Amino acid sequence: MRAAIANSGLLRVGEVDDPVPGSGEALVRVAACGICGSDLHALRHGDRMVEQGREAGLPTMFDPHRDHIMGHEFCAEVVELGPDTQGSPVAPGDLVTSIPIALTATGIEPIGAYSNTWNGGYAELMRLSAAMCVKVPNGLDHRRAALTEPMAVGRHAVGKAALQPRDTAVVLGCGPVGLATIAELRHRGVETIVAPDYSARRRATATAMGASEVVDPRTEPAIDAWRRVTGGLQPLVTFEAIGVPGLLDEAMKAAPPQSRIVVVGVCMETDSIHPFVGISKELNLQFVLGYDPFEFLDTLRVIAEGEVDVTPLVTGVCGIDGVPDAFAALDDPEEHVKILVEPGGPATVASLAL
């Protein structure tokens, strides 16, 4: 099969052996797989990621200097079920998705980035744990279904914010994670959602996803826009969805006393903060990561039932041969929000409105 292979910060496309489904596994044909900011991180900062994980006392088997296949935001069609898949919730021909975790006899394995298991969505075929697969309901198309995973990240971040009635939100950064956060805030009934971004395109997408006020921070800082809109006396939760050094400190300085900051943007660098600012305002910082299986399932339901429209997120599509081009294109926030890889698609990124 054709696959995009990552190794030591580089991506190449080539032919590799087809995977063979093992015990409990389904062989699936990838219909669409979104490119995640964390893939760009893992490709470019893999060594730092491993080193920081080790310093934090986390187990990792990921070696960025071995060939690996990334891609964990997938929707796929079941080709065949391997041995020991009796009672599987899915059958050949089903369009499915799954959290990107494989159950194996020796433990759990991440699918896609941070893994050397040769099993990711930037390929024609993948192996999934049949027991983890979920049928895509309601005739939802494969492109929207592939957005379940990134949307679940926003859902989880908002869940961790422990929202109270009357809470208002500032979402710093309108990349896919910020946009998923905005959509979930709106889905939960938060009315005031202020979203700054330098990119006009991303600001427009933020509005489409439910932001009540978008600003270019060069013209008006987000906190000023929040004050203008709310009068400055309502409870605020700030979501830091950028992950660049200095932004957390900035968010802490801007935050009103007693407010919460949810850190969902992945900053791989050492960052500087002023603890006195946090102390003097009794800020709460909640770092968040991922989602749980129930959040993932319910996110799929929310999309399939049309409670949240993910259409504005997808801005481009490419084939496996286009993956390196797509990674480069995602560096320009004016150009794209989310690019989906569809095996068999074009060798360069085609712009798309769903």
| Per-residue x/- track, 224-263, a second copy (CB under 8 A) | -------------------x----x---xxx--x-----x
Parallel/antiparallel/unpaired status of strands 260-263 and 236-240: parallel
Instruction: Give the C-alpha separation, 38 to 243, whole Å.
Output: 11
- Pick left, alpha or beta for residue 93 (phi over 0 → left; psi -120 to 50 → alpha; otherwise beta): left
Binders of a second copy: how many residues, by CB under 8 A? Answer: 39
Q: Which residues of 204-242 are buried (b: 16+ CB within 10 A; e: fewer)?
A: bbbbebbbbbbbeeeeeebbbbbbebbeeeebbbbbbbb
Backbone angles phi, psi at 63, to 5 degrees: -125, 105
Q: 49 or 310: whose CB is closer to a second copy?
A: 49
Q: Minimum distance from CB of 256 to a second copy (Å)?
A: 8
- Residue of 170, 141, 162, 342 whose CA lies nearest to 250: 170
Q: Which window, 62-70, 74-82, 100-108, 268-276, contacts a second copy (CB under 8 A)?
A: 268-276
Q: Minimum distance from CB of 40 to a second copy (Å)?
A: 14
Q: Which window, 19-27, 207-215, 285-293, 331-339, contacts a second copy (CB under 8 A)?
A: 285-293
Q: 22 or 256: whose CB is closer to a second copy?
A: 256
Which of 93, 233, 275, 353 binds a second copy (CB under 8 A)? It is: 275
User: Are the CB atoms for 116 and 63 separated by under 8 Å?
Assistant: yes
266 binds a second copy (CB under 8 A): yes
Overall residue count recorded for the chain in this entry:
354
- Residue of 347, 349, 319, 354 whose CA lies nearest to 331: 349
- Residue of 121, 225, 108, 238 whose CA lies nearest to 170: 238
| Per-residue x/- track, 32-71, a second copy (CB under 8 A) | -----------------x--xx-xxxx-------------
278 binds a second copy (CB under 8 A): yes
| Per-residue x/- track, 148-167, a second copy (CB under 8 A) | ------------x-------
Q: 50 or 179: whose CB is closer to a second copy?
A: 50
286 binds a second copy (CB under 8 A): yes
- For binding to a second copy (CB under 8 A), which residues are involved? 49, 52-53, 55-58, 160, 243, 248, 252-254, 257, 263-264, 266-268, 270-289
